[in-house]
Structure 1
């Protein structure tokens, strides 16, 4: 694909993609033929990723060198899945990435697959605000979607999650960037900027994080006699993650335990959740069964790979 190389991630990326692929196979195997199945990936990148790796060395009896290897990304894996999805929709905000995705889709002319370039939040909000996602199930064709929200940072808007929850027809795998959220939470309350507040309100879907994480009281004055707030953040990283999960639970009736993904020495840099607002208890039980199996399996893989690499990225 020429200059479409997309370099990012590390071992944690492979764990994440393998987990999504495993759930995708569970999803199509469990309800394929019963429902019209969609795979929706608005942060698909180029469809594949390029990784630089060390080769050679003492055990290989070869000079140590750095090589580039190509790995299938989420889009390539979804297109190759068996049993297959009936429809696939990919997107990315970067024009170069969208062009590479279109080239990838062109390799599968028999599949109903297309690329919707542009902002991922607009993509999802528009798509899931229209039929069949807003209409009750009727007749022989009933649609269900597996949506993979894999943002680079904290780009996912709360409204996007609300629209997906309102459809009640989507299993959503959402990569939450815990590291980025904690970085926005200044240790000193007075250091919170309006930009940080806005980002955190989008992340949690509520302004109540401020009172949850800080003791809000004005107990000191500056040199001019103006009251100041000397509060420091009380919440630990684990408490921040728990609050975020509680917030997700206000719009989704099912929120899985997260799959923590280690980056470097940080064991829970990212948290990968499965979310669903399916109104049928039997369906929710099935989703829980599949998600729980995937998370338990790949949680072990994540820790194992991190240990082998010595915590390296």
Structure 2
């Protein structure tokens, strides 16, 4: 299908298990599109079953990008994602195809739409010292320190948001500038593009039923064997790839710390909780149309209208 002259891409978000991938593949078939992954766990090679990656059979010939682009031992940042994703959006559009950004990692999608300051002030040693200080004097003391150097950013955080408190102090101490200043200077990476932003929804009870069934299917497909293979390949349990929901639970089972049934139940519970957090995140994001996943024809019509 011929695209409109104005550069355009689709963003398709939603909680885990809602059916984003199936919807994206349907759009791609109808409008000659290609999928760009926006899931922070699916970027890791070899971590397949537990992250719910689309299989070649499920992809039905639709090109999928930014899957398996990082080793499970390496840290993959939101800034790196937006750099790669923005390149892919432009590349796919230049070939006359429709770019479809699909995933549930809110920070990745926000970064692609609105920008993110280039990573600066990364100092693992400093980060470790800040964590040690927090363990000695309490996280409240570090939050108070952040309030002193960057009160506007501190006001947006909970005093229990350890990751962001550490990162904000790390940026300030290494760059000499508050992280809020860096954020104010960000610019959208795709200013020439329009976008249609859809967040797929589903009744909570049905979503949770789907999540529980999906986790059971992951175990049937061989999640336990996948974790064993990764360990045999030399992946340490502390590596970034293993921090995904489910892998930690299987590791506990393999170490004999929990029965398999408990590992499965924990994975289901944690996945449901994650879905709740995704819903809360995207409710705060501006410009998203929240659409029931059952309204597939409406979704296709909305894309058609934007392309006309």
Q: Which has the higher helix share?
A: 2
Q: Which interval holds the TM-score relative to the shorter structure? A: 0.3 to 0.5
Q: TM-score, normalised by structure 2?
A: 0.35
Q: Which has the higher strand share?
A: 1
Between Structure 1 and Structure 2, whose CA radius of gyration is higher? 1
